[in-house]
Every structure is written in structure tokens, then in C-alpha cells.
Structure 1
Amino acid sequence: AQNNLGNCYNYGKGTDKMKKKAFEWYTKSAISGIEAQLNIGIYYNYGKGVDKNETKASEWFLKSAEGAWKCRTKYIGKFYHKAIYWYKSYT
């Protein structure tokens, strides 16, 4: 239910779009919800309603990966791809 409320604030369903409020509800839900853990990672990754923080984003993506959320591999793959690109650029 908390994740769904986060979605309402995120997409403006039944209320105005409020990214900070969405982030708050996703965070509450993320304690036990895999989908919300993915959403928190996305918010940190893109700086939606919270300061952009790729380190925290990757932590949340990995938490969601420990569960059964299917979209998780897309974001984890992007992080590893980016890391390899930058590693090769500096070596």
C-alpha cells in the first residue's frame, strides 16, 4: 500500500505530482518491499525528489536484486556497463 501511495505522488494520480512525497513513501515501503527498493534506486539514480547519488542508487538496486523484482537486472547492468566504460577510460 505504501508503494502504491508513492506511485500516486510520483505520477500525479488523485493528487499533484510530488517527487519528495513519492520518495518518502517509497522509502517507507522499501523496508520490506522489493518494488519500492527498485523505485528508491531509480530516485537516487536520477535525482528525483532527492539529491542524485549513484552510490546509494546502486545499493538500492542490489537490495532489490536480492529479491525477485524482474526489472532489477536492467539497472544493475547499466551500473556495471558505466563502471567498465569509466575504468577503460582511465586506464
Structure 2
Amino acid sequence: MAEAYLALGEAGTAAAWFERGVELARGGYPFGEARALAGLAAARLRAGDVAGARDAAGQAAGIAAACRFRLLEGRARAVLAEAGPGRLITGVGRRS
């Protein structure tokens, strides 16, 4: 559901679904946790929450790197790069 909402541009709803996924996976299913955190990071970034995106992406990258989930690590690092230092958002999907 979360990925579908994100694809439809409903970042807030997607973030809520990804947060639920993190809750369900935390502590027992690292792949699911990293995947949900990476998705949460993308949703937060799209919604304009750069700090929240960095936080979720950093957590996702850490879990993925420790477990050698290279594709998930790459997804998380891509969000970190996009939300890099000094990024200013003037509108969803636009940079200034």
C-alpha cells in the first residue's frame, strides 16, 4: 500500500503506511525494517521533511549495510544524497 500511495503522490499517506511497516518489522525482520525505512525516507523527502528523510534514510542504510542488503542500502543512500546538506525545498519535487 505504501509504495502505491507514494507512486500516486500521496506522500503523507505513504509515510503513515511506511511507519506502520517499520513498527511491524522492528527488531525481528531487518530486511522489512530497512525496506520500510527507505520508503519512509523517500516519502518524507517528497513531503518536504528533509530532516526526517535524512534520519530514516540513515537508519535504513545502517541496517542494510550491516545485513549486506546492497540494493536497499543503495536506495537509502540515494535518498541521503538527494536530501544532502544545504538542500532547500520550495515545493514538492523542486529544488531551489
What TM-score comes out, normalization by structure 2 length? 0.47
Choose 1 or 2 for highest CA Rg.
1
Higher RCO, 1 or 2 (CA under 8 Å, sep at least 6)? Answer: 2
More strand by share: 2
What TM-score comes out, normalization by structure 1 length? 0.49
